[in-house]
Structure 1
Amino acid sequence: MEYSSFPLGGFSRFLLYSSGIPSLSTLILDMSHSLYRSEDVSLVQLYLPTESVRPVMLALGELSTIHFKDLNRDVVAFHRSFVREIRLLDEAERQLRYLHSEIALNSIEIPDHYHTTNYEITLETITIEDIIDKISRLEVRVRQLVESSRSLNANYLQQLEYSNVLSKVDAFFAKSTNAHNHFDINTDNGSVLAGEDDATAPLIENALELGTTGSFNSEDTNARTSISLDFVTGIIPSVKFQFLERILWRTLRGNLYIYQTRADESVIRENEDVEEKTVFLVFAHGTQILSRIRRISESLGATLFSVDEDSSIRTGQVQQVNGNISDIFAVLENTRSALYTELAFIAEHISSWESILHKDKAVYQAMNLFSYDQNHKCLIAEGWCPTANLPLVQKTLRDVSDLVDSQAPSILNIIRTKETPPTYFRVNKFTEAFQSLIDSYGVATYREVNHGIVAIVTFPFLFAIMFGDLGHGAIMAAVALMFIMHEKKLATKKDMDEILGMIFYGRYMVLLMGLFSMYVGFIYNDLFSKPMSLFTSRWAWPVKSEDTNARAIQTGTYPIGIDPAWHSADNNLLFMNSYKMKVSVVIGVIHMTYCLFLSLSNYRFFKRKLDIYAVFLPSLIFLEAIFGYLVITIIYKWSVDWKGNDWQPPSLLNMLILMFLSPGKIEEPLFRGQKQLQILLVLASLICIPWLLCVKPYFLWREHSQQDVRYQSVNDPQNIDEEALLNTENEEPQEEGFDFGEIVIHQVIHTIEFCLGCISHTASYLRLWALSLAHNQLSTVLWNMTLANAFQMTGVVGSIFIVILFAFWFIVTCLVLVAMEGTSAMLHSLRLHWVEGMSKHFEGEGYAFTPFTFLQSAAE
Structure 2
Amino acid sequence: MTTSNESLQQRYMHLTELRHVLRETAQFFDQAEIRQDVATTIGGGGRLTDPDDAVPLLEQDEEYANFELGQLSIGVVTGVIARSRMQTFERVLWRSLRGNLYMNASEIDEAIGTGVDEEDAVDKNVFAVFAHGREIVNKIRKISESMGATLYDIDPSEDARRDALLDVTGRIEDLNNILSNTNQSIRAELVTISENLNAWTTMVRKEKAIYHTMNLASYDAGRKCLIAEGWCPSYDIPSVRSALKEATDASRTSLSAIVTEFRTNLKPPTFQRTNKFTEGFQSIIDAYGIARYREVNPGIFTLISFPFLFAVMFGDIGHGALMLLAALYLVLNEKKLASNNGEIFKMFFGGRYMMLMMGIFSIFTGFMYNDIFSLSLSTFKSGFDWPTDYNSTDTVVGVPNGNTYSIGLDPAWHGAENFLLFTNPYKMKQAIILGVIHMSFAICLNVVNHLHFNKKMFIWLEFVPQILFMESIFGYLVFCIMYKWSVDWYARGADGELLRGQPPNLLNMLIYMFLSPGTIIPGEQLYSGQGVVQVFLVLIAVICVPWMWFAKPYYLKKQHSMHQYSSVADDEAIPDEDDVLNVHAPTGTGAVDDPEEEEFDFGEEMIHQTIHTIEFCLNCISNTASYLRLWALSLAHAQLSSVLWDMTLKIWFNFRGIGGTIGLFIGFAVWFTLTCCILIGMEGLSAFLHTLRLHWVEFDGKFYAADGHGFQPFSFKSVTLEVDE
TM-score of the superposed pair, with normalisation by structure 2: 0.76
CA distance in 1, matches of 2:513, 2:21: 99
Report the secondary structure of 1:499's partner residue: helix
Q: Deviations over 1:12-45 (max 9, x none)?
A: xxxxxxxxxxxxxxxxxxxxxxxxxxxxxxxxxx
Whether the 8 Å CA contact 1:263–1:276 is kept in 2: the answer is: no
Matched, 1:503 2:363: no
Q: How does 1:496-645 map to 2 (within 5 A)?
A: 496-542=341-387, 543=389, 549-555=395-401, 556-645=403-492
| 1:835 Cα offset (Å) | 1.0
| 1:642 Cα offset (Å) | 2.4
Whether the 8 Å CA contact 1:464–1:516 is kept in 2: the answer is: yes
| 1:790 Cα offset (Å) | 4.4
Whether the 8 Å CA contact 1:582–1:634 is kept in 2: the answer is: yes
Q: Deviations over 1:561-618 (max 9, x none)?
A: 2223323122323333222211111111111111112112222333322111121111
Matched, 1:405 2:265: no
Whether the 8 Å CA contact 1:165–1:235 is kept in 2: the answer is: no
CA distance in 2, matches of 1:317, 1:421: 80
CA distance in 2, matches of 1:452, 1:393: 27
Query: Aligned AA for 1:650?
Result: P
Aligned to 1:671: 527
CA distance in 1, matches of 2:123, 2:660: 59
Query: Aligned AA for 1:733?
Result: D
Whether the 8 Å CA contact 2:378–2:411 is kept in 1: the answer is: yes
Aligned to 2:330: 483
| 1:376 Cα offset (Å) | 0.7
Whether the 8 Å CA contact 2:108–2:126 is kept in 1: the answer is: no
Aligned to 1:460: 307
CA distance in 1, matches of 2:150, 2:655: 70
Residues 1:313 and 1:412: Cα distance change in structure 2 (over 3 Å): closer
Query: Aligned AA for 1:521?
Result: G
Matched, 1:662 2:522: no
Aligned to 1:364: 211
CA distance in 2, matches of 1:364, 1:535: 70
| 1:683 Cα offset (Å) | 1.4
Residues 1:848 and 1:780: Cα distance change in structure 2 (over 3 Å): same
CA distance in 1, matches of 2:121, 2:188: 33
Aligned to 1:221: none
Q: How does 1:265-304 map to 2 (within 5 A)?
A: none
Matched, 1:779 2:635: no
CA distance in 1, matches of 2:123, 2:567: 98
| 1:832 Cα offset (Å) | 0.8
Aligned to 2:553: 697
CA distance in 2, matches of 1:211, 1:832: 92
CA distance in 2, matches of 1:399, 1:520: 54
Aligned to 1:740: 602
| 1:661 Cα offset (Å) | 1.0
* 1:648 counterpart (476, 490, 502): 502
Matched, 1:450 2:261: no
| 1:544 Cα offset (Å) | 7.3
| 1:820 Cα offset (Å) | 2.5
| 1:356 Cα offset (Å) | 2.2
Aligned to 1:77: none
Aligned to 1:684: 540
Whether the 8 Å CA contact 2:20–2:108 is kept in 1: the answer is: no
Aligned to 2:575: 719
Whether the 8 Å CA contact 1:164–1:263 is kept in 2: the answer is: no
Report the secondary structure of 2:461's partner residue: helix
Report the secondary structure of 1:449's partner residue: coil
| 1:802 Cα offset (Å) | 3.6
Aligned to 1:437: 284
Whether the 8 Å CA contact 1:525–1:563 is kept in 2: the answer is: yes
Residues 1:350 and 1:661: Cα distance change in structure 2 (over 3 Å): same
RMSD: 5.0
Report the secondary structure of 1:372's partner residue: strand
Q: Deviations over 1:515-553 (max 9, x none)?
A: 2122222222222333333334433334579x9853322
More displaced stretch, 672-681 vs 815-824:
815-824
Identity of aligned residues (%): 46
Aligned to 1:387: 234
Report the secondary structure of 1:528's partner residue: coil
Whether the 8 Å CA contact 1:236–1:303 is kept in 2: the answer is: no
Q: Deviations over 1:670-701 (max 9, x none)?
A: 22222222112111111111222222233333
Whether the 8 Å CA contact 1:235–1:277 is kept in 2: the answer is: no
Q: How does 1:94-113 map to 2 (within 5 A)?
A: none
| 1:321 Cα offset (Å) | 8.7
CA distance in 2, matches of 1:399, 1:497: 39
Residues 1:813 and 1:261: Cα distance change in structure 2 (over 3 Å): farther
Residues 1:275 and 1:850: Cα distance change in structure 2 (over 3 Å): closer
| 1:512 Cα offset (Å) | 0.9
Aligned to 1:290: none
CA distance in 2, matches of 1:792, 1:548: 18
Aligned to 1:767: 629
More displaced stretch, 628-637 vs 844-853:
844-853
Report the secondary structure of 1:411's partner residue: coil
CA distance in 1, matches of 2:116, 2:245: 63
Query: Aligned AA for 2:694?
Result: L
Report the secondary structure of 1:812's partner residue: helix
Query: Aligned AA for 2:517?
Result: P
Matched, 1:350 2:197: yes
CA distance in 1, matches of 2:249, 2:444: 52
Q: Highest relative contact order (Cα 8 Å, sep 6+), 1 or 2?
A: 1
Aligned to 1:824: 686
Q: Deviations over 1:245-286 (max 9, x none)?
A: 9xx9xxxxxxxxx9999999xx9xx9976999999999xxx9
Q: Deviations over 1:307-332 (max 9, x none)?
A: xxxxx999999998986675444322
Query: Aligned AA for 2:468?
Result: I
CA distance in 2, matches of 1:714, 1:277: 87
Query: Aligned AA for 1:554?
Result: P
Aligned to 2:74: none
CA distance in 1, matches of 2:196, 2:657: 65
Which residues of structure 1 form unaligned runs of 5+? 1-144, 170-179, 181-207, 215-231, 249-257, 288-298, 307-311
Residues 1:665 and 1:409: Cα distance change in structure 2 (over 3 Å): same
* 1:839 counterpart (657, 680, 701): 701
Report the secondary structure of 2:2's partner residue: helix
Whether the 8 Å CA contact 1:244–1:300 is kept in 2: the answer is: no
Report the secondary structure of 1:440's partner residue: helix
| Higher Cα Rg, which structure | 2
More displaced stretch, 801-810 vs 367-376:
801-810
Whether the 8 Å CA contact 1:470–1:522 is kept in 2: the answer is: yes
| 1:212 Cα offset (Å) | 6.3
Matched, 1:420 2:267: yes
Whether the 8 Å CA contact 2:21–2:126 is kept in 1: the answer is: no
Whether the 8 Å CA contact 1:468–1:521 is kept in 2: the answer is: yes
